[in-house]
Chains A and B, each alone.
Chain A
Amino acid sequence: AIQLTQSPSSLSASVGDRVSITCRASQGISTALAWYQQKPGKPPKFLIYDASTLEEGVPSTFSGSGSGTDFTLTISSLQPEDFATYYCQQFKSYPITFGQGTRLEIK
């Protein structure tokens, strides 16, 4: 199975900050990567697919980049509603796998 490793595991930041979360795959997955945001008690929200394409309705403060094994989710200016846990997910091959998550907290 392809393993996804996210870093950092947790991150403290302030409203207005620019933050980046990385996701590293154990083998090349081209751009077959998605990003999700999850808040407590809610299902994940689909943010980005194909590594860099924003899902409809997702604010342009979110962006994704990368290909092969290294990927990044960037939030250009943190808003209060952005504090949540973020997951990457690969769909290059079965089994589909997720990263372990990055918890973004308010500083």
Chain B
Amino acid sequence: QVQLQESGPGLVKASETLSLTCTVSEYSINSPYYWDWIRQPPGKGLEWLGSIYESGSAYYNPSLNSRISMSIDTSANQFSLKLRSVTAADTAVYYCARREPSGGFDYWGQGALVTVSA
């Protein structure tokens, strides 16, 4: 059973950089799947942030205005998210997920709440 687990600081100061890592277990990240980040502000809907492939090629949501970057470490079976210049609007539960070739997200982490403080 594929497992994903987000880790990182739960509190980030405004204007600083949010950094999260997703550790994948029971499955090699070096495989033909995309590895994605999705977030959900408290009480709101889902927003796709970006995808990264095993090769390191990535796609980002243009709504983030180039504040986002993702990386992948196949040796550690992890992928990571960095979001720069955060504001209160970036407060959310951040999920990492595996996206299968059909395009759907079949495995998700439990989510990590990140709060941006003033």
Contacts and interface: CB of A to CB of B under 8 A. Distances in A.
A44 B104 contact: no
Interface in B37-89: 45-48, 51, 59, 61-63
Nearest to A47: B104
Contact of B103 (A34, A44, A98): A34
Contacts of A87: 45-46
Contact of B59 (A49, A94, A97): A94
B35 interface: no
Secondary structure call for the A interface: loop
Interface stretch (B11-19, B24-32, B106-114): B106-114
Interface residues of B, number: 23
Contacts of B103: 32, 34, 49, 91, 96
A98 B45 contact: yes
B108 A44 contact: yes
A55 B95 contact: no
A50 B45 contact: no
A34 B47 CA distance: 15
B102 A43 contact: no
Interface of B: 36, 45-48, 51, 59, 61-63, 95, 97, 99-100, 102-106, 108-111
21 contacts: A34-B104, A42-B110, A43-B95, A43-B108, A43-B110, A44-B46, A46-B104, A46-B106, A49-B102, A55-B104, A87-B45, A87-B46, A95-B48, A95-B59, A96-B48, A96-B51, A96-B61, A97-B48, A98-B48, A99-B45, A101-B45
